[in-house]
A and B are shown apart, each in its own frame.
Chain A
Amino acid sequence: MKLALKIAATLGGGIALGLLATWLIAIRGGMPGGVTDGPWHTSLSIGSASGDIYTRASVAVHGLLALNRSETIYYTAFADDEGNALSGTCTYRVSGNDPDARWWSITAYASDDYLIPNPAERYSISKNAVRREMGGGFIAAVGPEVVAKNWIPVTAGNPFSLTLRLYNPGPGVVSDPVHAQLPSIEKVSC
């Protein structure tokens, strides 16, 4: 009886520990090959066929069916320029000039990685749909309150993240995604 208990504890403890390590490293852990450009994070391993089982598992969890970076670069921001976590209670000013790409978009996602419900059914701004300033740049508002121009709605009280997609990025961005000219994310009010 005592032996059976020891076997059960060893087996159960071993399986639990193994799965916990997988959860911590491959599911909760960030993407391998991660780099940052201001508030924007990207991974150089997205969309690549890698022989490393850890890289492949993380990409499957965080970037399933993503394209490689010569086709598309995906940057994600979880915090503003100051490094504070993005909160749906605050309003942010996302501004800049067009990143070097054939087409770009900025989309807001809830913490479950899906689009954020809102009555206006607005989820993103993009290169061709964004309304521009005199100099050609753009200013968007990300927050819970209705804004007439370039508004990306988020839910008050909930954390969120932004994904910047660059389709057919310029060669400079592909070779050096850390120094690309990307929009800034400034907190305006809370």
Chain B
Amino acid sequence: MKARETLVWIATALAIAAIVHVGSVYALPRFIMSRAMAAMGTPNAIHHGKRADSDSRGVVRPSPDLLYSTCPYDLSKGPLRVHAAIPAGTYWSVSAFDANTDNFFARNDRQLRTRTFEFVVTGPGPGNIPLPPRDEIVISPTAKGLILFRTLVDSEDDLARVDAARRQATCEIISLSAPSSSKGG
């Protein structure tokens, strides 16, 4: 009788262990992503990171040869318009990650073949507002996420030029409450 009771307690502990394990594995990417996004700064604004050195602690294994710019977003107040300037003659890419860390969108300079690139990120739910047809629409699987720009510093002489180019990028929420604001074109 005693042994049977012990067995029940052990089985209960194992069941709790299984639930905690699966739950924590499921939650881990969201936890890591929300911490990384919070460290990057205010949402729906672009942040140009300084070149990575041994003091950099934002994201593990940063590349010292790339300039990283980020736009952590929160689409609860409306879609996000992203405008990027693409420096000539070097590797450049923009990628988007959802709150779960999944990379759901990426474009590089060779695919785009233009000097600027504009797109709109909308949330997964209904309620999409009419957007100008020229905008490329990207649907984010989650309301929160991150846009990440990578710009390669090909040589030290080129640093000032590509750094200036990447700083022309912007990201901002398209206001839903003021539809007339689009009149300015």
Interface residues of A (CB under 8 A from B): 6, 9-11, 13-15, 17-19, 21-22, 25-27, 47-50, 53-54, 56-57, 59-62, 64-68, 71, 102-103, 105, 107, 109, 113-118, 121, 123-124, 126, 128-129, 163, 165, 167-168
Kindly identify which residue among A6, A62, A65, A71 contacts B146, using a CB–CB cutoff of 8 Å: A65
Kindly identify which residue among A49, A61, A105, A116 contacts B65, using a CB–CB cutoff of 8 Å: A105
Chain A residues near B101 (CB, 8 Å)? 56, 59-60, 64-65
Chain B residues near A21 (CB, 8 Å)? 17, 21
CA distance A118 to B64 in the complex (A): 13
Would you give the shortest CB distance from B94 to chain A, in whole angstroms?
11
A-B pairs, top 5 by smallest CB distance, nearest first, are A14-B16, A18-B20, A17-B17, A117-B54, A60-B29
Kindly identify which residue among A11, A105, A163, A167 contacts B16, using a CB–CB cutoff of 8 Å: A11
* Known contacts A6-B9, A14-B13; A22 and B60 CB within 8 A of each other: no
Chain B residues near A59 (CB, 8 Å)? 29, 101
Contact A10 B16 (CB under 8 A): yes
Chain A residues near B152 (CB, 8 Å)? 103, 167
Contact A115 B28 (CB under 8 A): no
Smallest Cβ-Cβ distance to A18: which chain B residue: B20
Choose among B65, B93, B103 the residue with the greatest number of A CB atoms under 10 Å from its CB.
B65
Q: Indicate whether B32 reaches chain A with its CB closer than 8 angstroms.
A: yes
Interface string of B19-32 (1 = CB under 8 A from A): 11111111011001
